[in-house]
Amino acid sequence: MIRTCKVITTCFQGRMERPNTTMIGEPSCMCNHSQNFPTEDSVLRLLKLILSEELSVDPGVTNMDTVIVNNNVNWSIGNDWLNSINGTKTHSGKIIILNRDNFGRSFGGYNEAFQKYKNDYDYWIFTEDDILINGKEYFSKSILEFESDKEIGFLALQGINNEGLYGKSGPEVVHAHGGVGLSNTKVLNELTEKLGSLPFADESKSQEYYDIIELGEIAFTNQISRLGYKLEVLKKDYPLHWYAWDKIRGVSNKTYIV
């Protein structure tokens, strides 16, 4: 039986506000997602939405656990709520709460979850808390496409971007937007063997935003491509993800399919 896991990273820290989802990248896609979670309380409300999705949405597999990685900023109200849902049964598995120090942001969280649980699962979906992976049977559809081509190393749920920072473009910076998508334990183990971990800005590195992006978002899937694997966009005829702020305010996710 295939064992599956979805990793969702979060942090009880306000983020920049972005009123609308817009096109970004090369090739362009609707990946510059809206967000309006400026306070700890708004992040907590977001996590309650995530919990309701995990309870109700059918991922198309029968044994999918959801690991929520809390990049801890010591907000006791939020931490207590997260700990209270640890072990909650979901549609196809259970909630696992993993608390860690807040460095490397989402990509440090991706690494923490994989290193801790890599012997427990065969397939992994990674996403951030404001990107809901919630289309019907999203996990089984992703696995089916991933397994259709042995050269695929990462299946992007948003899109592939050939642009990096500072005007760079090309194979040295090609990556999946947000590092959001699916891979398997075999590929992620190869990446760990090469680099010592999944890429992220560790405690010895700058934690400035652009360094997090370069060492985390870009490097994570770019290094998979450097192993010789393909980065592919998941083919879909209906949306499999929904930006949380768009969902909350009633904006359709059908425009994400281009």
Could you tell me the mean pLDDT of each successive run of 10 residues in the chain, 258 residues long?
A: 97 95 96 97 98 98 98 98 98 98 97 98 98 98 98 97 92 97 98 98 94 97 98 95 98 88
Q: How many residues does the chain have?
A: 258
Q: Tell me what pLDDT residue 258 has.
A: 58
The amino acid at residue 110 is: Y
Element (H, E) at 186: helix 185-195
Q: Tell me what pLDDT residue 167 has.
A: 83
A 10 A CB-CB count for 33 gives 23
Domains, the chain, in order of start with CATH, read: 4-16+25-252 (3.90.550.10)
Q: Tell me what pLDDT residue 257 has.
A: 81
Q: Tell me what pLDDT residue 125 has.
A: 98
SS3 for 8-30 is EEECCCCCCCECCCEEECCCCEE
Q: For residue 19, what are the contacts with CB-CB under 8 A and spacing of at least 6?
A: 34, 36
Give which of 163, 130, 118 is closest to 45, Cα–Cα: 130
Q: For residue 52, what are the contacts with CB-CB under 8 A and spacing of at least 6?
A: none
| Number of helical H runs and strand E runs in the chain | 8, 13
A 10 A CB-CB count for 124 gives 22
d(CA 224, CA 205) in angstroms, rounded, equals 21
pTM of structure = 0.97
